[in-house]
Chains A and B, each alone.
Chain A
């Protein structure tokens, strides 16, 4: 009896092991520009947290969009730069997607994630380490970015400075000092 039952069970296993699925598909589609970024899908946005920082006296708080935690107008020798601080849930769209979007905004082509990471400079602050990106298109010097990305526990903090290429060079030292001064604001807890 046991022998027969075992035989039947083994037979069922063998039959089920046969893979009859067709695993090759072909189709034609009109040409589209599509994203292939794995970091796009994120959890629901987290509660924003407060931060405090030290800024140079010349930086003037300004009114930004509702998404921003803060905005500053930053004068330099060639004009006025604009700095914004934004906090987004998860990875905030991901390092690669964000940096490549910024690169696209100033006419630079996309890079792979490891090329981006190779170009990043690392910084340290009380809220964690951050990566600093210097995005300058030498053929379009009127607009360039300095950006810092802080990967936090369940969100990401983005600090971005927009100025001319020369302005970026002028302001880089202050920008790094500002990023390194970031702390959590625990005064309301």
Chain B
């Protein structure tokens, strides 16, 4: 057991993983030019395994950080010579580093970022994720309520079969396209194709560097419906007329959309204001006067460019706006980050550790200077 603890807490692991992390930072930074910021983040920093040159597997940023975290934890807990008054500065620095990694982990796992788009006079209670998509299957048969069964992007891979007790059929994913365009068929489609795919096909395109410019699409097969509805369907992001199907007397709608997170409160846009620099069309400031509605009680709040609204762990920044003929629409960037305070706290702790270490080493340092003796 002691041997295992010694191996896991070996400082050499920390040094090597830190060097590897630096290599990843360089690779990720260079890759941004070719594949864009988001794809580079995903490939080098958010992945457990990254493929160098698409051939050689190597530890990704996430696994590297986990190794550092485990190594540092074992170092702090089991390295007995750290737990001495002489080493108090070093110990505090290690604890600060641990907190930084824990905060990073919380952010990576639990944080979410997205947009809330609200027209003047309207209200919204959900945030659309910037990057992640979802397949929503909506049972619209009920007159008052729509029943949503939502499948997240990670399970929309080719070959996956989606099923749920709410659905009396299965959905087999035939392809998930990161970027696609609908093309009109030049020849008649096979009899297995249904809906839009009877006249169009989804043509895969090379993903754009800027992820928001991609138009994802899915082709899927409905099976086990026990009716002629079984067949191959296709949908793409932004399709204005959604794919519908009547299966066993139930009406279903299929939509691919940005992953949607519902909030326990709503925001109503009362007024959007923009101020331009005099005589120019250049923006000076934007602001959104909103009602924060919780449990039916509205509270008036002004969201400005550097004055976000913070509520229930969410922060709403004024990000953009859309100017339309019928009115204005505000675009708020919504961020939820559980690890938000960790960098601040851990930086303070590490600074204290450094200071203590410096102070405790000072007599030793002074002794080394000829002619100076500590009093």
Quote the shortest CB–CB distance from A115 to chain B (angstroms): 9
A188 at the interface (CB under 8 A from B): no
Answer whether residue A58 sits at the interface, using C-beta atoms and an 8 A cutoff: no
Within the assembled complex, what's the spacing in Å between the Cα atoms of A148 and B67? 58
The residues of A that contact B70 with a CB separation of less than 8 Å are 12
Having A9-B63, A40-B322, A114-B200, one finds 13 other A-B pairs with CB under 8 Å, namely: A16-B48, A23-B152, A23-B154, A27-B150, A29-B146, A30-B145, A36-B257, A41-B320, A43-B320, A44-B320, A47-B281, A101-B326, A110-B240
The CA-CA distance from A116 to B146 in the complex, in Å, is 29
Partner of A67, one of B67, B280, B323: B323
- 23 sample A-B contacts, Cβ–Cβ < 8 Å, listed by A number: A1-B7, A8-B7, A13-B48, A13-B59, A16-B62, A17-B48, A23-B152, A25-B150, A26-B166, A30-B144, A30-B146, A31-B140, A31-B144, A41-B212, A41-B322, A42-B320, A42-B331, A44-B286, A47-B281, A47-B282, A96-B240, A112-B182, A114-B182
**Cβ–Cβ contact B154 & A21, under 8 A:** yes
The residue from A8, A12, A28, A96 contacting B148, defined by CB atoms under 8 A apart: A28
* Contact call A23/B151, Cβ cutoff below 8 A: yes
Q: For chain B, give the interface size range.
A: 35 or more
Contact between A100 and B240, CB atoms less than 8 A apart: yes
Q: Which stretch, A86-94, A136-144, A168-176, touches the partner chain B?
A: A86-94
Q: Which residue of B lies closest to A28 (CB)?
A: B145
Residues facing B in A133-186 (CB within 8 A) are none
Q: Is the CB of B145 within 8 A of A113?
A: no
Across the interface, which residues of A come within 8 angstroms of B329, CB to CB? 40
Q: How far is the CB of B153 from chain A (nearest CB, A)?
A: 8
User: Which residues of A have CB within 8 Å of B10?
Assistant: 5
Using an 8 Å CB-CB cutoff, how does the interface string of B276-289 with A read, 1 for contact, 0 for none?
00001111001000
Once bound together, how far apart are the Cα atoms of A101 and B117, in whole Å?
A: 18
Using Cβ atoms and an 8 Å threshold, which residues of chain A touch B144?
Answer: 30-31
Across the A-B interface, the 6 shortest Cβ-Cβ residue pairs: A47-B281, A23-B152, A38-B238, A48-B281, A23-B155, A28-B145
B344 CB within 8 Å of chain A: no
A37 within 8 A of B: yes
B238 lies within 8 A of A26 (CB): no
Taking the closest CB of chain B, its distance from the CB of A49, in whole angstroms, is 9
Q: Across the interface, do B322 and A4 meet the contact criterion of CB distance under 8 Å?
A: no
Instruction: Mark B residues whose CB is within 8 Å of A.
Output: 4, 7-8, 10, 13, 48-49, 59, 62-63, 66-67, 70, 115, 117, 140, 143-152, 154-155, 162, 164, 166, 182, 184, 196, 200, 212, 215, 237-242, 255, 257, 262, 274, 280-283, 286, 320-326, 329, 331
A47: chain B residues at CB < 8 Å are: 280-282
Given contacts A42-B320, A42-B322, contact A112 B239 (CB under 8 A): yes
Rounded to whole angstroms, the CA-CA distance of A27 and B149 in the bound complex is 7
User: A21 vs B49: C-alpha distance in the bound complex, in angstroms?
Assistant: 19
> Quick check: B117 and A13 within 8 Å, CB to CB?
no
Question: If the complex has contacts A5-B13, A40-B117, A41-B320, are A26 and B150 also in contact, measured as CB distance less than 8 A?
Answer: yes
Contact partner, A27, options B4, B148, B326, Cβ 8 Å:
B148
A-side contacts of B283, CB under 8 Å: 44-45
Please, which residues of chain A bring their CB within 8 A of the CB of B164? Answer: 24, 26
CB neighbours (8 Å) of B240 from chain A are: 36-37, 96, 100, 110-113
Contact of B150 among A17, A24, A41 (CB under 8 A): A24
Can you name the residue of chain B whose Cβ is closest to the Cβ of A94? B238
- Alpha-carbon gap, A12 to B69, bound state (A): 11
Interchain CA distance A16-B60 in the complex, whole Å: 12
Shortest Cβ gap from B11 to chain A (Å): 12
- Do A36 and B48 touch across chains, with their CB atoms under 8 A apart? no
A7–B286 Cα gap in the complex (Å)? 55
A52 contacts chain B at the CB level, 8 A cutoff: no
